[in-house]
Structure 1
Amino acid sequence: MIYLDYAATTPTSDEALHVYNKVSQSFYGNPSSLHDIGSKAQHLLQSCRRELSSLLNGSENGIYFTSGGSEANILALKSLINAHQGKGNHLITTAAEHSSVFNFFQLMMEEGFEVTFLPIHEDGLIQIKDLKHAIKKSTILVSIHHGNGEIGAVQPIEEIGDLLEAYDILFHSDCVQTFGKIPINIQKAKLDSLSISSHKIYGPKGVGSAYINPNTTWQQEIPGTTHESGFRPGTENLPGIAAFITIAAAVCNHMEIEQKRLNKLKLYLVNELRKRSTFIHIESGWSTDYLPHILGLRIKGMEGQYTMLECNRYGVAVSTGTACQIANLAPSRTMLALGRSETEAKEFIRLSLGKQSTMEDMQKTISIFDTIIEKSLLVRRETKH
């Protein structure tokens, strides 16, 4: 099976598994315990915090470990809004956010907040002028993802950060799809908070992190919580955290080389798919404004679910969008935000590449697409007769 669903999750690396097992055996103490075994675990936890903050160019005091990217998004957003809602009740986000963020803002509307959903344009990006126009005196927070999980569009977060700093508005970004793929610099982007996840970069599932600028006031979601400086309840998953940080350092150090390799594979796919433009519409662009590992497309007249099942039948694993959204079989919100009809949105599929992807995989995948399209045309001809 050719695996082209790395944006959904990645296989856990041998290095991460080794560290997970070693820490499970040797650092089994609770980091909150005051005896020596607990202190040993606490020292390792703080070391992980320092390492991750250096990868993000942030402060170790701003790192909070979570169960994953979705929890990091929700807790960071709620903690910031709780602390600053006295300044206003207006929030800004986009129509193409990950479901954890999109659903959170739906809930905020039910709680009485005013939420503006910025449009995304044909390239998948927001326009700074749209953001500036949406800002009100009552605006307290803006949440805009760094990289889109379906078409790979990369938002100009440094430009966004400059604008929001000038207006003294909090800035959160979901960086789950971009961490380890392209550079993230908290200081340059002037981020107040962000979210990242372990299982997107070959670490174990069930581990992630939120970052909140130590100079930014936040209020804990659950009063009386003591773990992670009150950010979330529950004993820290130290083996998972250590494995996460180990592979994060390795991936970030190898990032530039892997970017070039994945760009080469993606360019091959794009060029081959363009030759089949009568049947295939590419939804991802080709520039530095797009992630190197994500390619979104539609086979015209064919539902994405059918394409995915046919790909699976012929030995290639793809998806019809983000895993957290396709569970309810809803059409891609990113496609709808791009102005596609509901029928077109349901045609969408995503190919996402990773460290085990090869040029031979790309060639086989193109051949499989040709087979699926040919089969579909044959069925249509037979139906007409």
Structure 2
Amino acid sequence: MKYFDYAATTPLDSEAANIYVQAATEYYGNTGSLHDIGSTAKDILENCREEFARLLAVQKDGVFFTSGGSESNFLGIHSLLSAKKKQGFHIISSLAEHSSVRSTLDALELQGYEITLLPFTENGQIDIDRLKSATRKDTVLIAIQHGNSEIGSLQPIEEIGNWCQEQQILFHSDCVHTFGKINLNKIINLVDSLSISSHKFYGPKGIGAGYINPKLAWKPYYPGTTHEKGFRPGTVNVPAIAAMTVAAQKSIEKQEWQFTKIEKLRQQLLAILAEAGDQITLYQNTEEQQLPHTLGLRLNGLEGQWVMLECNRLGFAISTGSACSTGLTSASKTMTAMNIPEKIGKEFIRISFGHHTNEQDVAALGETLLNIIHDKH
């Protein structure tokens, strides 16, 4: 099976796996215990926190470890709302946010918050002028993803961040799809919180991190919590954190090289698919605002789920969109955000590239997709 679903999850890096086993078997203490074994685990935890702070170029007091991107989004949003800069109950987000953000906002709406969800342009991007127009005096939070998980479009985070600072609005950004793929230095000082997830950059599943600006006087969502300075309850998963840290170090170290490699693979596939002409529709942003790792497209007239299953039968793992909503029969959130009619939106498929993708597999996938098109037309 040739794997083209790295946007859903990545294989665990072998070095990270070894670190996990070592930490779990040799440094197994509870970080809350006061004996030496617990203190050793606590030292490992804090070393990992310092390393993530270095990788993100932030203060370590703002780095917290969670169970993954979904929890980081949930707790990040709630933490910011506990530290609002002004009075108000209006939140702005997008129609294409991850399900963990959308479900959090849905719950907040039941608590009295008013939510404005913005659409995407045809390039899969937030219109900054539309965002500014949607801003009100009582807007207290904006939550916009950094990179879209279905088509790879990047959002104008710098412009949004500057606008938020001007308007005294707190800003959360889901960076699960971008950490380890592109440099976040340009945006890190413009967001008040962000989320990342280990299994998106070759670390273990069930672990992630959130960043909260340490200058904010946020309050714990769960009262009486002692772990992670009150950010979340539960025994800290030191082995997974250690493994995630190794995976993060390696991903950042290889970031530019991998970006260039994957950009070439993307262009190779697009060149092959060009033979299909107008039988294929691509969804992408401008080159400067596009992650090459994720390619969103339609084989016009063919339902995406059928194409995915046919590719699976022929030995290729692709996707029909976000892994957290692929069990749904409706069109993807990104297609909806781009105002694509539902029937057409259901034709969407996602191809995503990673460390182990090579030219031979890309060529084989390209030919397979062309054959699927020709057989059906």
Which TM bucket (shorter chain)? Answer: over 0.9
Q: Which residue of 1 aligns with 2:336?
A: 336
Q: Aligned-pair RMSD on alpha carbons?
A: 1.3
SS of alignment partner, residue 154 of structure 1: coil
Task: Verify the 8 A CA contact 1:2 1:315 in the aligned structure 2.
Answer: yes
Question: Quick one: distance in 1 between partners of 2:8 and 2:187?
Answer: 28
1:18-67: CA deviation from partner (whole Å, max 9, x where unpaired): 10011112210001111111111111100000100111111100011000
Please list, as runs of the form range in 1=range in 2, the aligned pairs for 1:155-170 lying within 5 A after superposition. Answer: 155-170=155-170
1:49-96: CA deviation from partner (whole Å, max 9, x where unpaired): 010011111110001100000010001111221343971100010111
Corresponding letter in the other structure for 2:110:
E
| Offset at residue 271 of structure 1 (A) | 2.3
Question: Quick one: distance in 2 between partners of 1:217 and 1:191?
Answer: 15
Q: TM-score, normalised by structure 2?
A: 0.97
Q: Which residue of 2 aligns with 1:277?
A: 277
| Offset at residue 136 of structure 1 (A) | 1.1
Structure 1 unaligned regions, length at least 5: 378-385
Question: Quick one: distance in 2 between partners of 1:12 and 1:96?
Answer: 28
Question: Quick one: distance in 2 between partners of 1:268 and 1:164?
Answer: 39
Question: Quick one: distance in 1 between partners of 2:342 and 2:179?
Answer: 31
Q: Which residue of 2 aligns with 1:130?
A: 130
SS of alignment partner, residue 40 of structure 1: helix
1:76-135: CA deviation from partner (whole Å, max 9, x where unpaired): 111221343971100010111111111221222222111111121011111211111111
Question: Quick one: distance in 1 between partners of 2:188 and 2:202?
Answer: 26
Question: Quick one: distance in 2 between partners of 1:11 and 1:186?
Answer: 28
SS of alignment partner, residue 125 of structure 1: coil
Change (3 A) 1:130 1:285: closer
Question: Quick one: distance in 2 between partners of 1:351 and 1:286?
Answer: 18
| Offset at residue 230 of structure 1 (A) | 0.6
Q: TM-score, normalised by structure 1?
A: 0.95
Please list, as runs of the form range in 1=range in 2, the aligned pairs for 1:278-357 lying within 5 A after superposition. Answer: 278-285=278-285, 287-357=287-357
Please list, as runs of the form range in 1=range in 2, the aligned pairs for 1:27-42 lying within 5 A after superposition. Answer: 27-42=27-42
Aligned residues: 377
Task: Verify the 8 A CA contact 1:57 1:186 in the aligned structure 2.
Answer: no
SS of alignment partner, residue 336 of structure 1: helix
Please list, as runs of the form range in 1=range in 2, the aligned pairs for 1:43-82 lying within 5 A after superposition. Answer: 43-82=43-82
SS of alignment partner, residue 232 of structure 1: coil
Structure 2 unaligned regions, length at least 5: none
Q: Which residue of 2 aligns with 1:17?
A: 17
Q: Which residue of 2 aligns with 1:244?
A: 244
Sequence identity percentage? 47
1:212-263: CA deviation from partner (whole Å, max 9, x where unpaired): 0100121211111111101111001100000001110111011000000000
Question: Quick one: distance in 2 between partners of 1:274 and 1:102?
Answer: 36
| Offset at residue 166 of structure 1 (A) | 1.0
SS of alignment partner, residue 220 of structure 2: coil
SS of alignment partner, residue 289 of structure 2: coil
